[in-house]
Structure formats: structure tokens, C-alpha cells
Amino acid sequence: MHKIKIMIVDDHVVVREGLKQLLSLEEDMEVVAEAGSGLECLGLLEEFCPDIIFMDIRMPGINGIETTRLVCQKYQQVKVIMLTIYDEDQYVTDAIRAGAKGYVLKKLTRHELIKVIHDVMEGRAFLDSNVTAALFEEIKQKEKRLKGEAKVELTRRELEVLKLLVEGYKARQISDSLYISEHTVISHIKNIYKKMRVSSRSQAVAKAIRGGIINGST
């Protein structure tokens, strides 16, 4: 019978030992390696080739999220599950972006732990129910921020100037197109930057298109 090879990465020996004891009760699982830091984890990968890595987040040196990113870049077959006490939405989203296939809190039961392993091995992602609410809230807040970008109050003339900026016009060309002085154009651009809370043309153009202020195809 093929056993699922597991590595435990946590800077607390008690956590590693407790997890190892729980997993030793499963006939189809084997803890093949332990590491107390991200750097140690990276050094053991080639030798032990685990199927699953349980990864803590806060560790000395390279943190768990950066270690996950490095693992997933080099060993795409390895599935990383974050096992942590932290339920902050930023940790969850950062872990997912880094390539983690699961995110669970350390208070989960043995039965839940085994289910997570099997789910991830079968190609399913797993998020602890205690962090999904925070993740959805983060997504909602992000949508609100993006919608808020479209509510920038620009005058009719400022919108005309912004539209030409999006189309690649320079200040002199905008001046000629709108029949206003270049000095007035520069003044409008400064006001646009201030209202949009940006500091460059590229930022203004990106925000205008992303926020729906100006259609990028015009």
C-alpha cells in the first residue's frame, strides 16, 4: 500500500511531536521528515520528497508563506497545507497566492485533519470554515474599494483631459485638441492626480480604466 508521505514544518517541537503521534495512527500515512524552520524544510525536500507538507506561518528566518512559495515553485507535485493559529484574512490570501492547497487552524480534530489530507491528495483545496468568513469579507471589501475608485468626482473638462491621457496624448497635444493653454492642461492634470490619489500618468490611466472612469478601448 502506498503511504502518503508527510513533512511537518513548525518551530515548536511539541506541535511537531503531537501531530506526528496523531498521524502515526493512520495506516496510509507516514511522517517522513520534520523541520523547525523554512530553511531547514527547503534543505530536506530533495531527500524526502513528501506528498504533503504541513506548514506553520510564523517561524524564524523565512516565514511559512515565503517557504510555501519557494516549495511550490520548485516542487510542483508537493501539496502544502498551512497549519497555524492565525485566522487573519491577509494570511489566508497570501498563502493561497503562494500556492498552498489548504489552510487550517491548529484547533482542528484528528478526524478533520485526516479528511483535509485526503481531500488535498485527491486534488481538492481545503479552507478551514473558521477562515472562510474572513476571506469572503476581504473579497467584499476589495470590491467596495474598486467600486469606490469609480466614484472619483471629476469635472467635465477634467474627464476630457483624462480621456486624452488614457489615449496617450501629451500635454501639448491635449492643449491643441481642447483649444486651451498648456499651462491650463497641466493644472487640470494636477487636479486629476489629486482627486484620484495618484502621482503619475501611468497610475492615473490604470486607475481610470480599472475603476470604469474611462473606457480603455476609447
DSSP helix/strand/coil, 105: strand
Indicate whether this model's pTM tops 0.75.
no
Could you tell me the pLDDT band of residue 122, with boundaries at 50, 70 and 90? Answer: very high
Q: List the domain boundaries for the chain.
A: 4-141, 150-210
The whole-number pLDDT of residue 104 equals 93
CA-based nearest residue to 9, from 100, 143, 89? 100
CATH of the domain spanning 150-210, picked from 3.60.21.10, 3.40.50.720, 3.50.30.10, 1.10.10.10:
1.10.10.10
CA 202/CA 102 separation, integer angstroms: 37
Judge residue 65's burial from the number of C-beta atoms within 10 Å of its C-beta, 0-12 exposed, 13-18 middle, 19 or more buried: buried
Could you name the CATH architecture of 4-141?
Answer: 3-Layer(aba) Sandwich (3.40)
Give 190-217 pLDDT, tens digit per residue.
999 998 888 998 888 888 877 777 754 4
Give the number of other Cβ atoms within 10 Å of residue 9's Cβ.
Answer: 27
What's the pLDDT score for residue 93? 84
What pLDDT was estimated at residue 1?
A: 66
136 pLDDT band, cuts 50/70/90, is low
pLDDT over threshold 70, residue 135 = no
Q: How far apart are CA 15 and CA 85, in angstroms?
A: 12
Query: Can 4-141 and 150-210 be said to share one CATH topology?
Result: no
Report pLDDT digits (tens) over 141-199. Answer: 665 555 555 567 899 999 999 999 988 899 999 999 999 999 999 999 999 999 888 89
